[in-house]
Structure 1
Amino acid sequence: MGKPRLVGVNHVALEVGDLDAALAFYGAIFAFTQRGRAPDMAFLDMGDQFLALAETAAAATRPVDFRPEGHFGLVVDDRSRAKALDEAAGARLVEGAFVDFLDPWGNRIEIVDYANVQFTRAPGVLAGMGLAFGKAVETRRQLADKGMAVDAEG
């Protein structure tokens, strides 16, 4: 038997020091629907995926300059608008060629534009999310080179 193949990400969970403050912080930057809430957790809907925010004592006591080694990317429909809202929300921007920021608990997030990444939503998921946009020409070429052709609206 071969190894299981990676096929996607169902969710990412972030530790935060204060759940209500985290919802306010992320709500100042992104439009989202809260999928659900449990004690010390909130789930932000991203179509067929979600972002989990988990309130933990460890995150609440992290030093202000905490910075994890890794990061993850959130795909958005307007990267430049997200960057402006990051700044307005008080996020600490990370210098470099990418749009990365640190949230108040030190989680590092990169903002990527849907049109320019190979990650592709199924048409039904896009429609269900009320979105109608496609991929850039170069991104469609990259996907086609892998045998994953999408149309301009894909």
Structure 2
Amino acid sequence: MTEPLLAGIHHVKIPVTDLDRSIAFYSRVFGFTVEIEFPESDGVVRGVAGRVPGLGETLLALRINPAAAEGCAGFDPVSFAVKGRADVEAWAARLDALDIAHSPVIEASIGWLLVFSDPDGLQLHLYSWAAHGIDHSDRPGYGRAVRRGAEDGRTPSRPVPGP
């Protein structure tokens, strides 16, 4: 029997404390457009989902959940992909134009990385698919390849993206 395969990522759901503020932020930064709203039994909309240019069929969802938003502050559950260093630099310029604080361009484990936060403090990463070719595996917090033995039938994995 063949193992079933995944077909991509359906949606990324981000917890927020203020839905209108977060819709405005994700729209301004990423071009997010709301396509679906989720009203509760009291009729109040506490979540939305929609499209972001560049994410293909993957939806971005925002859901009011203050406890989860607080718990995720400072954490980076998702890294949005860009092609290369020039794209990371272009995003840095865009964030500058929007007056949004961000990290410098970082030589991360595999490629280049830019870090900034949404209104609830969730860290958002823009990470390049293009590799820089620099081995940071000896640095704390950076990824390194995991070598698997022939006995488990697996091939070596790729380094895990890190800072």
> Runs ≥4 in structure 1, deviation > 6 angstroms?
none
The 3-state SS of whatever aligns with 2:50 is strand
Q: Which residue of 2 aligns with 1:74?
A: 80
Q: Offset at 1:10? A: 0.8
Q: Which residue of 1 aligns with 2:49?
A: 43
Q: Offset at 1:111? A: 1.4
Contact 2:115/2:126 (8 A) holds in 1: yes
The counterpart of 2:124, out of the listed 99, 103, 109, is: 109
The 3-state SS of whatever aligns with 1:111 is strand
Count the aligned residue pairs.
113
Partner Cα distance (1:102, 1:31) in 2: 16
* Higher helix proportion: 1
Normalized against structure 2, the TM-score is what?
A: 0.54
Q: How does 1:16-27 map to 2 (within 5 A)?
A: 16-27=16-27
Partner Cα distance (2:78, 2:102) in 1: 15
Partner Cα distance (2:92, 2:48) in 1: 23
Unmatched runs of 5 consecutive residues or more in structure 1: 118-154
Q: Offset at 1:113? A: 5.2
CA separation of 1:27/1:107 partners in 2, compared to 1, >3 Å: closer, same or farther? same
Normalized against structure 1, the TM-score is what?
A: 0.57
Please say which structure displays the higher CA radius of gyration. Answer: 2
Contact 2:21/2:119 (8 A) holds in 1: no
Partner Cα distance (1:32, 1:76) in 2: 16
Unmatched runs of 5 consecutive residues or more in structure 2: 39-44, 108-112, 132-163
